[in-house]
Structure 1
Amino acid sequence: MNGGTRKVGIVGWGAIGRTVGGALAAGEVPGAELVGIVDNRPLGDAVPAPQLAMEEALAACDLIVEAAGQGVVREWGEAVLASGTDLLVASTGALTDEELAKKLLTAGPGRVYFTGGAVGGLDLLQAVRAMGPLGEVTLTTTKLPSTLEQPWMDEETLARMRSASGPVEVMRGTARDVPVRFPKSTNVAASVALAVGDLDAVRVRVVADPGAAHTSHVIEANGPQGSYRFEVRHVPDPGNPATSQVVPYAVLRSLAALAGRRGQIL
């Protein structure tokens, strides 16, 4: 940055994009301006900035915010960075593809940034990792059954989830496996793995609970450095219950840091 205003384009005008875009358009992020919106659906005239094709956004913006899912990161991530535009990724689950991760982390001249989204404690896990690898890291994510249904599930699994009267484990695996199977619901697993530095070291449980008024994520980590436990309970977004309501505000916090807001804890 050279002290000018960050010209921001948002990819995706859904639950995350609308909140982020509305705040930018209202001037709530000093040093950042909403220049355009990229979405493959016709948005009409009720949006606060022009609807652009991705190529137009790359020509007009110096920062792209991905708010539309892992597929956007896979399809456009490298091209965004190669154009010299920076990229803020909300769908960290895309980075479980190690080849893609390597490409993004070595591409340029644009820079790639990630937002913690619906989980905290990542900065501490990164600090602990600098002391040496952790022995055990687990994540348990609990959500409403309807937000976890996937096309690959068989009828028996779907029936078990739909008829459950209490918590039901839907999948158990690593942070390499789980975000691929739940691309809209388990970006937290990838975020924890990025902080820890090892996709296979993070063991993940996905639980469906019909009584879950909140989406919860419980992270536990142990090693010679110490023992750590973080638990967050979020209100789901009313328009998209697969996303926690806090996620767009985490994106806005990251945007504020990139725009150079003073006095912010990073």
Structure 2
Amino acid sequence: MTAPVSTSTSASERTGVRSVRRVGLVGWGAIGRVVGRAVAEGAVPGAELACVIDNRALGTEAPAPQLGFDEALAHCDLIVEAAGQAVVREWGERVLRSGTDLLIASTGALTDEALAGRLLATGPGRVYFTGGAVGGLDLLQAVREMGPLTDVRLTTTKLPATLEQPWMDEELLHRMRTATAPVEVMSGTARDIPVKFPKSTNVAASVALAVGDPGRVRVTVVADPGAARTRHAVHASGEHGTYRFEVEHLPDPGNPATSQVVPYAVLRSLAALAGKTGQIL
């Protein structure tokens, strides 16, 4: 799913002419490699990979020139972020001020309401996020238009090693490392959890963006040594209905903190932005 969080209109849309999207990809990790190679091979009609931005020297590994951010903004009309929340915080507003659109994979950054507000207020570029590893967000957005969802809960279950964080004390780390059954690691709101798990809880932020209020979404993070698949279960209810979504994904073999499906969700969002027709948006 591609969900716009800004409503400004580009010159090409005003004139009815859509040109090829020149894409700058930030990050050459588990997500970026899949996205970058697919775009470079022509898998996304209407999009071409103009450059890759990464703080490591990639040499011939990248299928497009490796540029710095300032150079990329001069060559691209869409930046795809696949490198973590810090990139959104440091570069998001600058990208939008340049007139370049921004597609965010690390949605956890947007639970910082001050940052989200600044991104919404910045233009002429537009900001979008991709739902990543969870479904049902379009339905939650539709229900939200009828009235608030009064009870929204998300339970995320992952392998213990993928959830370890520098702030954890020895007691919690020991419980996680020696667990033989699921262990609740932390609970809180979608405003709090993505800050504590910046590489593992973008789903919490995506649900919060769909619901429209990070404080309304209660999140529980569970470490399970038997979790061969990453699980996300969403329960939501309001006066208009009750909704339940549950997904299980294989983790990416190179980065188990990320589900294998995430880069393909980014590609689908990119296809929507590039003007692909005949799909559900």
| Matching residue within 201, 226, 231 for 2:241 | 226
Unaligned runs of 5+ in 1: none
- Report the Cα offset of residue 46 of structure 1: 2.1
Alignment: residue pair count: 266
* Map 1:47-126 → 2, pairs under 5 A: 47-126=62-141
In structure 2, give the amino acid aligned to 1:94: A
* Map 1:1-266 → 2, pairs under 5 A: 1=12, 2-266=17-281
1:172 aligned counterpart, secondary structure: strand
Normalising by structure 2, report the TM-score. 0.94
**For the residues of structure 1 that align with 2:123 and 2:59, how far apart are their CA atoms?**
34
In structure 2, give the amino acid aligned to 1:171: M
Q: Residue by residue, what CA displacement relative to the aligned partner does 1:94-122 show, whole Å, maximum 9, x if unpaired?
A: 01111100010111000001100000000
- Report the Cα offset of residue 3 of structure 1: 2.0
1:130 aligned counterpart, secondary structure: helix
Q: Residue by residue, what CA displacement relative to the aligned partner does 1:27-52 show, whole Å, maximum 9, x if unpaired?
A: 00000000000000111122100100
1:45 aligned counterpart, secondary structure: helix
- Report the Cα offset of residue 209 of structure 1: 0.2
In structure 1, give the amino acid aligned to 2:175: R
In structure 2, give the amino acid aligned to 1:206: V
Q: Residue by residue, what CA displacement relative to the aligned partner does 1:166-213 show, whole Å, maximum 9, x if unpaired?
A: 100000000000000000000000100100011110000000000001
- Report the Cα offset of residue 86 of structure 1: 0.2
**For the residues of structure 2 that align with 1:3 and 1:134, how far apart are their CA atoms?**
37
* Structure 1 outlier segments of 4+, above 6 Å: none
**For the residues of structure 2 that align with 1:195 and 1:30, how far apart are their CA atoms?**
27
